[in-house]
Amino acid sequence: MRNFLFLCLCIPVCIFSELPIKQPLDFHKSEEEIQEAVVLGGGIGGLTSALYLSRANLHPLVITGQQPGGALTQSPLVQNWPGELSIRGNDLTEKIQEQAEKSGAKFEIADVVSVDFSTRPFKITVRDLLTPKQLRVIKAKTCIIATGATPKMLGIPGEDTYWLKGVHNCAVCDGNFYKELDVVVVGGGDGAITEASYLAKFAKKVTLVVRSNSLKSIEAHRKEELLLMPNVEVLYNTTIQEVLGDAEKMTSLVLKNSTTHQLKTLPANGLFLAIGSIPTTDLFKGQVQLDNKGYILLYHDRETSVPGVFAVGDACDPEYRQAVIAAGDGAKAALQAEKARSSPSSTPTSNIRPLEVQEPEIISIKSLEQFDKDVLCSKTPIIVDFYADWCGPCKALEPHIRNWSKRFDGKVKFAKVNIDILSKLSQRYSVRAVPTILYFDKGGVLIDSRTGMQEIAGLIDKLEGFSTSQ
């Protein structure tokens, strides 16, 4: 239920299992664009802000970052949203976004590079996720920060080495790759309980590693349900010291009992981190006032130390971190922003129109037989996109796949595979996270594999090189 997301940061393949994209920032900037209101973040708080702003006829622009829908998309079941007995987090955010779009909100999947709140209109520099050399400056009369929070890492040996090779931070995103396998969840709160409960539905065994001597949960019945699951074991007073593997994948963990100080090695195929989060606010240091933990300080309801700049959700909430509270924050911030619309601004608003691209021909692989025929027997190099309907980064990648297909028409073909439909194909090529792209040469020879937005971005250069050499 947390509302963290990644703007020029997190998040990670499907997030959040995405790592930060780091690129030099001395690139050409396009002409500046002016917006009445800009929302930074596409989680539940940002979506609600967009809905209220659009209904006030402010036509907000929402910069979603790498995970449209935010952290709530990672929740398999939301059972405390008013009016919904049970709903998938991804379904809930899609409904709110659709409602906001119909009211006039615009959405753009991009990273925020920097902000300048020193003068009005405010300046926000963004870049496309997969063409990072193209920077664009947007001017905003008012701005709502909804960047959420970023999952914490353990900071232990082997964690980086086996990231996405066994180590993850989203069970909904990557748990599907561990059917009938042994997995470990680390954490002692509601997030860990949610992850463990979800994984227990299809994993052979789930071991929950808890640093303290008890689980801390707001919803007691969920904790009780987890403890009754036959394939779940809880190790209290235990910490993870190291992630071990065979260079290709994680194989085990080194655990330490904090009471006896005894070490032991636990064989495991996957590790899922659920140890909390930190506010995603580095971008705003020196722009708005933060507390000593990085949370944005508020002065007049949702307004920050800068008039006309507001904050909602986990970026300014160190205590509750609930989706319904972030939504309420978003509504209040939008109402305040509407009142501030008469603040000085240099020129009238001009709307940004999303790039319109003709729908390209992309092969949808429905069976192993079709894959063997259309991919392995292809007379043209082919890119295969492994994706999932519930994966935020996959959705962020989708328009780029369409654009690439059009740009390299006749030179490189494109296909897509839904991992929930063809899990056997994922296993064949050891696809353990999404989005993953496989690059096949003529005759089905695999020549490259990329996982996550950071790695996939590098594939553009390879495609460009292929195109110019023809």
Active-site positions read: 170, 173-174
Positive/negative CA dihedral, 179, 183, 188, 192: negative
Q: By three-state DSSP, how is residue 296 classified?
A: strand
Structure tokens belonging to residue 67: 């995970």
Distance CA 53, CA 61 (A): 10
Which residue, among 441, 458, 442, has the nearest Cα to 450 in the 3D structure?
458
Q: What is the CA radius of gyration of the chain?
A: 22
Which residues make Cβ contacts (< 8 Å) with residue 410, sequence separation at least 6?
Answer: 380
Separation in Å, CA 254 to CA 104, 156, 186, 189, 273: 52, 10, 13, 22, 15
Q: What is the largest CA-CA distance in the chain?
A: 68
User: Terminal CA-to-CA distance of the chain, rounded, Å?
Assistant: 49
Distance CA 363, CA 388 (A): 15
Distance CA 280, CA 18 (A): 14
On whether the CB atoms of residues 336 and 392 are closer than 8 A, the answer is: no
Q: CB-hemisphere CA count at 13 Å for 252?
A: 8
